[in-house]
Structure 1
Amino acid sequence: MAAAVGGRGFLVQPCSLSFVSNKNVLKHPFGAANTCWHVKPAKPQGFARHVAHAQLRPTWLPGLDPPPYLDGSLAGDFGFDPLGLGEDPESLRWYVQAELVHARFAMLGVAGILLTDLLRVTGLLSIPVWYNAGAVKFGFANTETLFLVQLILMGFVETKRYMDFKSPGSQAQDGSFFGLEAALEGLEPGYPGGPLLNPLGLAKDIKNAHEWKLKEIKNGRLAMVAMLGIFVQASITHVGPIDNLVEHLSNPWHRTIVQTLANSAS
């Protein structure tokens, strides 16, 4: 049994009634004796209560008490809000949806950049490096037309998403999406479903799909950090991520981020 005094712990020998004499001394075969202490269990207070709370509620910084408005109910909530941006409940709802969308775009972006860069480096496709892809001229349409089409399509989708955020379920009503509402089958704001957007039928019970939500947001946050790294990498080295990886593997001890930053500064 352990006890805590002033933030320090020590062990207390448990008592066994069948081996305790009137003097509360335990006799050992080798002549040693241990005093038996009767300890009454006490409620955890102060430091002990905070330690137990920290173990039950993981935070981004161990031992840090999360803000009261981040109670752990949100997927990926580790109490990180140093600027207090989520104090307003409505703002917090919007930030959750915004992070989710950015995470999904980042995952698609990282996968697209790595795949196309791998095809380019291996010579399977003759395509430009990813940051020059937007300057490519296509024969079937000019750049202005493609930009206008993209603006209309993205604007339509984002408008529908915003309307569903403001009034959950409103975009699933009959006739609200050219008769395709049943094929989309929105689960809740930010989590559309149906055979088009959820062909494998994962997390149909979205209210109890905390593990799936947690996995998605963790991978999305990792992808956002990866996208930032790819941006900085391209700005400094002026090549794609696969080229940087090949160069690093050719001489791992001398072609690292430290040497790269040092050479770029000189």
Structure 2
Amino acid sequence: MAAAIARSYSFQPRSLFNSNTIYNPSPYGGYSWLGPAASRAGTTPRCRQICAAMQPRPTWLPGLDPPAYLDGTLAGDYGFDPLGLGEDPESLRWYVQAELVHARFAMLGVFGILVTDLLRVTGLSKIPVWFEAGAVKYEFTNTQTLIIVQLLLMGFAETKRYMDFIGPGSQAKEGSFFGLEASFEGLEPGYPGGPLLNPLGLAKDIKNARESKLKEIKNGRLAMVAILGIFVQASVTHVGPIDNLVEHLSNPWHKTVIQTLASSGS
């Protein structure tokens, strides 16, 4: 573990602590490498930089020595790849985009399920429970129309996304979409832009938007776990997540996931 942590440090002791810095007298009553603010504030920007550099890289398992191809440059990279799926650079590039798309769909799915289930449970709408919604006949359209909308519109959007993945920037070239290319101009593969897909102008400098990317992928991973939990709940209890929550709150000490799974297996 000590060796793994040591390899994560990104400063060289000899470059900081040497005879020219340690023993060079300073008019500020301290060592010259601490800088002029050391005697007043007890720390300096240089010290903070050094302390930050000394911090080991965060990994999904403390003390883990992450693979060389996961160098921390990707948003949300904590060195997790036990099966070595990302060793090939092209495969890793594809997996990054696949995770991003699944994360976004999961966030939309969780939001949609919770909102419609809340409307149904409170009696504000007669929306069916989410896992039965696909079998219901809707007055505003028919099944054939819904299939066409999904296949054509979503298929078109996914095709454009894939073409931008294999040829970054190709979908913003003049003449690629009826003169509307500027409305769909992407920031980089996986991050669409333009007034239609980025109306608020968030993260226009996508190269330096690491914090925004990290927040999105973290929330997306949480949503993927949540959607899996909703699927399992529906399979075991045959009701929606809001129903499960209401039942738990009615008797928190006896209506838990443990009792539910135990009763379903008996």
Counterpart in the other structure of 2:153: 153
Letter in 1 for 2:207: K
Paired residue total: 223
Gaps of 5+ in 1: 1-6, 8-44
CA distance in 1, matches of 2:234, 2:227: 11
Secondary structure of the equivalent of 2:55? helix
How many Å separate the matches in 2 of 1:111 and 1:78? 27
Q: Aligned ranges for residues 105-120 of structure 1 at < 5 Å?
A: 105-120=105-120
Q: Distance in 1 between matches of 2:93 and 2:5?
A: 34
Normalising by the residue count of structure 2, what TM-score does the alignment of the two structures yield? Answer: 0.80
Q: Which amino acid aligns with 1:68?
A: A
Task: Report the Cα distance in structure 1 between the residues aligned to 2:147 and 2:185, rounded to whole angstroms.
Answer: 30
What are the within-5 Å matches in structure 2 for residues 196-207 of structure 1?
A: 196-207=196-207
**Aligned pair in 2 of structure 1 residues 48, 240: CA closer, same or farther (>3 Å)?**
closer
Verify the 8 A CA contact 1:51 1:63 in the aligned structure 2. no
Shift of 1:208: 0.4
Q: Deviations for 1:95-120, whole angstroms, at most 9, x for unmatched residues?
A: 00000000000000000000010011
Which residue is 1:170 aligned to?
170
Aligned residue number for residue 240 of structure 2: 240
The answer on 1:49 being equivalent to 2:16 is no
What's the CA shift for 1:55?
3.5
Aligned to 1:85: 85
Aligned 8 A contact 1:248 1:255 in 2: yes
Percent of aligned pairs sharing the same letter: 80
Q: Distance in 2 between matches of 1:187 and 1:71?
A: 23
SS of corresponding position for 1:56: coil
Q: Which has the higher strand share?
A: 1
Q: Deviations 1:58-99 (Å, cap 9, x if unpaired)?
A: 100000000000000000000000000000000000000000
Q: Which residue of 1 aligns with 2:46?
A: none
Aligned Cα root-mean-square deviation (Å): 1.8
Q: Give, as a single letter, the amino acid of the residue that structure 2 aligns with 1:256.
A: T
In structure 2, what is the Cα distance between the partners aligned to 1:234 and 1:194? 39
Shift of 1:136: 1.2
Deviation of 1:56 after TM superposition, in Å, equals 2.7
Cα deviations across residues 121-144 of structure 1 (Å, max 9, x unaligned)?
Answer: 001111100111111112344313
State whether residues 59 and 79 of structure 1, in contact with CA within 8 Å, keep that contact through their aligned partners in structure 2.
Answer: yes
CA distance in 1, matches of 2:231, 2:203: 33
- Would you identify which runs of 4 or more consecutive aligned residues in structure 1 move more than 6 Å? none
Using the TM superposition, give the Cα deviation of residue 196 of structure 1 relative to its aligned residue in structure 2, in angstroms: 1.4
Q: Report how far residue 46 of structure 1 moved.
A: 4.7
TM-score, length basis structure 1:
0.80
Question: Which residue matches 1:259?
Answer: 259
2:27 aligns with none
CA contact (8 A) 2:4 2:64 kept: no
For the residue of structure 1 that corresponds to 2:93, the secondary structure is helix
Q: Give 1:90's aligned amino acid.
A: E
